[in-house]
Amino acid sequence: MTQEHAVTALLNLSLHDGNKSMLTRAGAVKPLIYALKTGTEASKQNAACALLSLALVDEYKLSIGACGAILPLVALLINGSVRGKKDALTTLCKLCSVSLNKERAVSAGVVRPLVGLVVEQGTGLSEKAMVVLSSLAAIEIGQEAIIEEGGIAALVEAIEDGSNKGKEFAVLTLLQLCAESVRNRGLLVREGGIPPLVELSQNGTAKAKHKAERLLGYLREPRQEASSSSP
């Protein structure tokens, strides 16, 4: 309980912009990560929120990742309550706005639980998971992990059955996966992606329509076959 109260106090202090630098200089990040690893469910949730609050300052994102925050956040994402998972997702989303933390998150195994959450209904986690996936799809190892974990099938399902906002995130991530990869376009076609994309291009939100039309344009491009003979 003492740890829980201390973490909550740090969270409350971190909400004031003027305190963020003082807390960071005083060494608050490592104890918060320790609570994220070892604390009660409430301690873990509040530690994640405190780290999120500190990560609102761009210069602290890398140092929070370097201190080891990513792995326990992934553990909270996998094993936490719905509230804990939401806190982990929100904090990961903020930390993964920098490339090195994206790499750390992929190496920590975040992609598999994210793909699983994409198709989870009724918890409100699907959209948040797709935001993080979209961020990870910006780097090569992130794209490879999403493909390996069956992300294309999950994203197609989200376009078929998700909310309007979820459909926007899903088609954005698919666009990132397929824009430069003929192989991924083929996977998207095989997973039945064309009919829901056509539907989205006609009846989705303005953002979703635009992205679906772009993605369909890539899918219509003829495949570049490698020549088997020298010119």
Predicted local confidence at residue 157, as pLDDT: 95
Give the tens place of pLDDT for each residue, 192-218: 999 999 999 999 999 999 999 999 999
Let me know whether 67 and 166 are in one domain: no
Predicted local confidence at residue 228, as pLDDT: 37
Closest CA to 80 of 32, 42, 49, 112: 42
In a domain, 230, yes or no: no
Let me know whether 118 and 66 are in one domain: no
Q: In terms of residue numbers, what domain contains 100?
A: 1-108
Q: What is the pTM of this model?
A: 0.90
Using the predicted structure, report yes or no on whether residue 231 has a pLDDT greater than 60. no
Q: To the nearest whole number, what is the mean pLDDT of the chain?
A: 93
CA distance 136 to 101: 10
- Is residue 174 within 8 A of residue 155, CB to CB? The reply is yes
CATH number of the domain bearing residue 213: 1.25.10.10
Predicted local confidence at residue 223, as pLDDT: 55
CA distance 81 to 59: 30
Closest CA to 40 of 88, 89, 81: 81
